[in-house]
Structure 1
Amino acid sequence: MEGQGEKSTFHSRIYFLCPLCRKAPRTLPGHLRTSCMEGRTEEEIQTTMIQANKEMAELSHTGRFWEYQRIREIFAAADPLASMLEEMEKKGFVVRNIP
């Protein structure tokens, strides 16, 4: 039968953003231990994990919602791209490779 024995390619894992380097590694604790917080105590790493968890919860709660009037204001600005990037940053989004 089709589908039996096949592994799903969809993963429901949430990738947390590293608050130090702003990357989204597969496992934040492992990333912190081997890269951004190498040599730090386990307590410091756990504190950083709690902070990242709070940021993700805040993004999930508020980052998905936009007020229509705010979008109109952004597009009416003298430099709408800069205004949009600023608003996205305020909401917790990360925009990379900005020239």
Structure 2
Amino acid sequence: MRVSEVKQPEKVINELLLFIRKVLVEPDINAKALDIARKYANEKNADELIAEELSSTTNVKIPAKHSDADKLFLQVLRDVIRDEKALY
């Protein structure tokens, strides 16, 4: 999903703001999220695996049916991991 494809921008923005607040309150989420994304980056169902483990180990809860904001967040995680690999 691309940012331009988001259908309900206000809802997505509000969800992402909530997530950013959680990260600021619990800064370990960022490192955990990236570690989890690295772990599952090459799996066929990476988004589901990342969401499940992140939900079970942090205060970030990503439901089984991913919202647009969830999809964007998971895409950003995958992009960051891909960019890391490109640097090496």
- TM above 0.5, yes or no, is no
The structure with higher relative contact order (CA 8 Å, sep 6+) is 2
More helix by share: 2
Normalised by the length of structure 2, the TM-score is 0.37
TM-score, normalisation: structure 1? 0.34
